[in-house]
Structure 1
Amino acid sequence: MSAQPTGSAGPLTGVRVLDMSTVGMGPFATQILGDMGAEVIKVEPPEGDVFRTAGPSVHTGMGAVYLNLNRNKQSVTLDAKQAADREELLRLADGADVFVSNVRPQALARLGLGAEALRARNPRLIYCSAVGFGQDGPYAGRPAFDDIIQAMSGLASLQGANSDAPAYINTILADKVAGLTLAYAIPMALYEREKSGQGQTLEVPMFETLVAFSLVEHMGGHTFDPPRGGAGYARVLSPHRKPYRTSDGFIALLPYTDAQWQRFFKLAGCNELALDPRYATAQARAGCFDELYADLANVVTQRTTQAWLDLLGDADIPHSRILGIPELLDDPHLAATGFFKRVEHPTEGTLVATNVPVRFSRTPGSIRSLAPSQAPNRVQQQEAVGEA
């Protein structure tokens, strides 16, 4: 593992976050803030975060997904519908820099926990509302989960473009992309507060966030008014854009520049393709990705996976083995960079944790504590992480 700088805490040290979010989007965002040094107090309802039951577990309520989303947090159980617990929430919010919640804004307002109420008490508060849909549109108030947002944002349609049915991407992409958006919006608001001295209210809607994410490349001809062609990015939507079958397995392969394509054709012994004017330049290839990738697929079937890896090893042509989760756990690069850490949880035993991927030269993030056990009716600091 690479040596870490010493004598410095993460870049968000000193920031206090009151996290009243559950499931994926909010907890993913607040874990990132916690990794970067923020003090995160996770507020759970009496029944606990629903993700406590997701994935395998040693003890009930400590599922793998929950463990992977809630390190570097303190915890407390509070029922906002009860007057005494609500007062404790208000007290915590009075001392917070950031408040994050995925509870519907109308419900929080009825409880006296809306943005206006909390910011009236604490004008420097950054109040973050993680919602399914923008609250000034007709979808406001609809329930929103990852599958629903994948369907509504165009992602499921795009994923199924080359089959007879739409399909979900095999990760909670909507939750995580929206969570990342929330995680970068909060430090922006904190930075602005340093100049103005004032807090503000943030709204991060999953639907709009994922539509913006999807349309970066897939707006296509609809980028113009009137449209100059259909929607979609042809290269990405080609039915032949996928891991290529070798004679004994699969390989990922993506010559991209003119020079890489010419080098690949010559290495593969495909002189006729090297001379094909359709494939000579990026502009020419843009009009025939289906044909190009179909030809590439046919060429790749002629050698074994290892033969291709040997042939392409020093050719500066993007390529890779197809790695599964077990291979990632033993990957030599990830081992060299210290990406996986074996840590001791006080109740769940030895865990394999992903390290903080972003590196700061002076103020590195770190894993200081692991996901809290069932939260008590007072703020609980989880025991410091111990390396196994």
Structure 2
Amino acid sequence: MFDIQEIRSQFTILNREVNGKPLVYLDNAATSQKPDSVLKIWNEYYTQLNANVHRGIHTLSQLATEEMELSRRKIQKFINAEHDFEVIFTKGTTEGLNLIAYILTQKLKKDDEIIISYLEHHSNIVPWQLLCERTGAKLRVIPIDENGILQLDYLDEFLSEKTKIVSVNQVSNALGIVNPIEEIIAKTREKSDAYIVIDGAQSAPHFEIDVQKMDCDFFVFSGHKMYAPMGTGILYGKQSILEELPPFHGGGEMIATCSFDGTTYAGLPFKYEAGTPNVGGNIALGAAVDFIEKTGRQNIQNHENALLEYAQRQLLELENIKIYGEKAKRTGVVSFNLEGTGISSDVGMILDKMGIAVRTGHHCTQPIMDFFNIAGTVRASFAVYNTFEEIDLLVEGVKKAQRMLS
């Protein structure tokens, strides 16, 4: 049974008030709240196990190592990676994408091409621009239509022997649009030998991920958007590719031998995990996976899709509401503006006074905003603990904003 009240009872922060009103937290695409079970594991690490990993023979170090490696195996299963050493701990999606862009530098030369899309977060744009600056490669961008849907005819046109990297998100953080990843990967495999990178920051929290079935070369996501602490994330890479490519950071943990005459590198995953990791956060990320699995990924997906459908239906009953990506397949996000009634931040501030947390602005996706000729949107984004009653409060808040700003 899916019991929303039982789920909400696991999130202590949902009991607090903001501006004298019960908290309605609808900013989950930015970061999700953390269940008590995850916070308990994080706290237990620092109060019971605090030690560095992989380096000590003493008991605490051994126990901390066991717990972090157990978390790695949980994540391997969560994304269905073939090997646990294909799972690299990072600080989050942004670091994962920058890592990939850096280690692929040697694979590109002048006039090679990198394909991304108009729907990307800045973290899936800027690292590739920097790679182009380093190598002389060129960036090509799949456009969108008025509904925010990728125009894949352009992908067919762009793909060639010059294509070395295709990097797209599975779900748009700004609009919630679910991209046809399977089709994109199939087209790429048919026409080029490009590395395929998938940004899963907004998909991993919402539905099942299978990197082997997907057949991507890299998959990145953040822990803090899926009920885990901030500063945690995962880079998945195929074994054969990660073994061939160079390290990202140099330092402790990532070496096999080190001397002034030269250094040899450790095997996977440690080759890409230089320095002391976020041990407590990484262990808590495994606990977040446990929470998701216990709740049921299909339950989460069904509930969030129902919330999205209800929110869109209720908002469209109001006058002068523009929902971006309204006709596209979406998950977890409704991104909208009040037409003719001011900027998105004004709406956000009014909602905040009512205890309702939404995100306003460009959502680190300025090209999308430029396409729609707007400065930003109001973005309400959902998690498993949100309710239909909270959406009713959101709609009432939007009505109040309309009255105040008209």
- Higher relative CO (Cα under 8 Å, sequence separation at least 6) belongs to 2
TM-score (norm 1): 0.25
TM-score (norm 2): 0.24
Greater Rg, structure 1 or structure 2? Answer: 1
